């Protein structure tokens, strides 16, 4: 059993970031909602607990609170922002509306020695975001840092191993924030750092073998990062007992279906079933122009085809999927949804129920505790090609949401060829790493052009490229003009049926990343 830190979620926007920071120290961290009862927390054997921030005021009775007994179970606690005020409030300190609320980068001045301050200079910049503050620390606590407008920016009760900071050490704007978190995890909680990806692989493989025994497992493989890594891990554990079902609906990027098939059949031991149903999808989508209608048809048909295939494989076996940790956490609301025991399929935008006539021995989610960057690390260690592990997100409905208007085989061909050129140039210029997502769009517009002495009337292709942290908002990427020029030249020369290229310079909002 690994050392564990609990991140107790009071609704702060950075709760996943806190857990990721701790995991970067090779210490396992998990997020649970503030509604988790104390008995469960005690039973889980945590080495330390971090109270997250949150948007509320502690003196509002509707705000998330927790029984103060949690401070007396002998497990070290670090409160951050709202969590800091909560510790003061639990211990009869005074929390008040600050005369001056602090937001942004503020200078922190350390005023007393603390285990938290190892290798932290006396003055440094931290990220503050609060309107309330601690006007009087609770009994037994001493103030260990202040700012110009916050007399108690950090406090501690060394005997009870309770620590609290008004600022956000988890964000990169706090210069020594990471060091402070590290100090809490190692100096206060006494962790040693036993959460490593290679040991994760070994223990997961062992657990999978134990659970699966001599039974079969079926996994839906999309070719995306998560399902690919789940496939590789299961392959290592049970080899040919694993069957991966890959539905090729004909709306993938150029040659992508072949690439996925080749990767998994040549590098990994498993049964690989590819269902080619491009024609069926084209027939179902014929004449449909409404984007939501297209999405719906693609989604519904996809799962029909998928479950029909799985039904053939399901007898007396397990169902596996590449759910990862963020899929299970509904962030920002202080609630967690544990999907571990329900056979629902994960897609980017929704969870799909399993048809009731298909019975499995159980659901297996080998990546359910990992963040995306950890999944990628595991993928690389398992030998999945770099380009698959680091691929950009690709929407479930595929090119279906990148063709404006109705979908035909010819439009798919044009878009695939144009998109191939864009990706090829990005790779050649090593520019992919600067972009979160980039692709071509078949705009559905035609424009007049000239070719030699002839007038042409051909298709307009748009280039879309964005940078973003979370895809909720995004900025259009400033790709250098000379790269854009080459892409434009090559597409108009190499792709039949295209005579004009435009560059989408819309950020999100008001635009979305996709066009449909
Ligand atoms: P939007 O267009 O909503 O895209 O700004 C944000 C991110 O979501 C992806 N996306 C989808 N993914 N099914 C998916 O699996 C969809 O219907 C879908 N629509 C958008 C998009 O590629 C981007 O990464």
Written as one string, the DSSP assignment of 159-228 is TTTEEEESS-TTSTTSTTHHHHHHHIIIIIT-------HHHHHHHHHHHHHHHHTT-EEEEE--SSHHHH
What pLDDT is recorded for position 332?
A: 33
81 catalytically annotated? yes
Strands 48-51 and 4-9: parallel
pLDDT the model gives residue 470: 79
Please give the pLDDT value at position 209. Answer: 98
Name the phi and psi angles at 317, rounded to 5: -140, 180
pLDDT beneath 50, residues of the chain: 330-350
Residue nearest to atom 11 of ligand 1 (CA): 395
Q: Contact 122/109 with Cβ under 8 angstroms? A: yes
Model confidence pLDDT, tens digit, residues 106-145: 999 999 999 999 999 999 999 999 999 999 999 999 999 9
Radius of gyration of the chain from its Cα atoms, rounded to whole angstroms: 26
Catalytic residue among 3, 84, 102, 170: 170
How does pLDDT run across 358-410, given as a tens digit for each residue? Answer: 889 999 999 998 989 999 999 999 999 998 999 899 999 999 999 999 999 99
Ligand 1 atom showing the smallest separation from residue 396 Cα: 15
Q: Which residues line ligand 1 (CB under 6 A)?
A: 295, 347-349, 393, 395-397, 401, 437, 471, 508, 512-514
pLDDT at 352: 59
Q: What is the pLDDT of residue 176?
A: 98
Question: Any catalytic annotation for residue 30?
Answer: no
């Amino acid at each position: 059993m690994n050392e564990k830190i609990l991140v107790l979620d009071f609704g702060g926007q950075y709760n996943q970031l806190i857990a990721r920071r701790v995991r970067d120290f090779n210490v396992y961290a998990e997020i649970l909602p503030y509604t988790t009862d104390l008995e469960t927390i005690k039973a889980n054997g945590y080495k330390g607990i971090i109270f997250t921030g949150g948007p509320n005021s502690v003196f509002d009775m509707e705000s998330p609170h927790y029984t103060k007994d949690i401070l007396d179970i002998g497990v070290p606690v670090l409160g951050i922002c709202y969590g800091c005020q909560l510790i003061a409030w639990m211990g009869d300190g005074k929390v008040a509306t600050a005369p001056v609320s602090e937001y942004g980068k503020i200078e922190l001045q350390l005023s007393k020695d603390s285990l938290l301050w190892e290798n932290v200079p006396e003055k440094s910049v931290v990220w503050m975001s609060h309107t309330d503050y601690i006007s009087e620390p609770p009994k037994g606590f001493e103030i260990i840092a202040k700012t110009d407008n916050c007399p108690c920016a950090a406090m501690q009760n060394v005997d009870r191993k309770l620590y609290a900071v008004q600022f956000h050490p988890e964000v990169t704007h706090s210069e020594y924030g990471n060091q402070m978190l590290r100090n809490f995890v190692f100096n206060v909680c006494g962790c040693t750092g036993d959460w490593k990806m290679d040991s994760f692989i070994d223990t997961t493989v062992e657990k999978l073998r134990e659970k699966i025994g001599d039974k079969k497992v079926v996994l839906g493989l999309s070719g995306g990062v998560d399902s690919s890594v789940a496939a590789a891990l299961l392959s290592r554990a049970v080899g040919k007992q694993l069957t991966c079902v890959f539905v090729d609906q004909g709306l993938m990027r150029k040659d992508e279906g072949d690439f996925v098939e080749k990767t998994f059949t040549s590098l990994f031991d498993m049964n690989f079933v590819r269902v080619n149903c491009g024609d069926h999808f084209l027939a179902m989508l014929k004449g449909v122009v409404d984007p939501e209608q297209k999405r719906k048809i693609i989604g519904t048909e996809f799962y029909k085809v998928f479950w029909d295939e799985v039904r053939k494989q399901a007898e007396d076996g397990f169902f596996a999927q590449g759910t990862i940790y963020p899929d299970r956490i509904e962030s920002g609301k202080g609630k967690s949804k544990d999907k571990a025991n329900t056979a629902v399929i994960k897609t980017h935008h929704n969870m799909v129920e399993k048809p009731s006539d298909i019975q499995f021995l159980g659901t297996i989610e080998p990546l359910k505790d990992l963040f995306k960057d950890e999944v990628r690390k595991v993928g690389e260690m398992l030998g999945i090609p770099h380009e698959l592990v680091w691929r950009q997100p690709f929407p479930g409905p595929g090119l279906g949401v990148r063709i404006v208007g109705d979908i035909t085989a010819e439009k798919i061909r044009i878009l695939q060829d144009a998109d191939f050129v864009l990706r090829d140039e990005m790779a050649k210029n090593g520019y992919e790493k600067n972009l979160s997502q980039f692709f071509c769009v078949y705009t559905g517009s035609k424009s007049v052009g000239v070719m030699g002495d002839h007038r042409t009337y051909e298709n307009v292709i748009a280039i879309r490229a964005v940078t973003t942290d979370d895809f909720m908002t995004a900025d259009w990427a400033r790709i250098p003009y000379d790269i854009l020029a080459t892409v434009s030249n090559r597409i108009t020369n190499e792709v039949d049926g295209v005579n004009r290229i435009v560059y989408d310079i819309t950020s999100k909002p008001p635009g979305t990343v996709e066009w449909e």
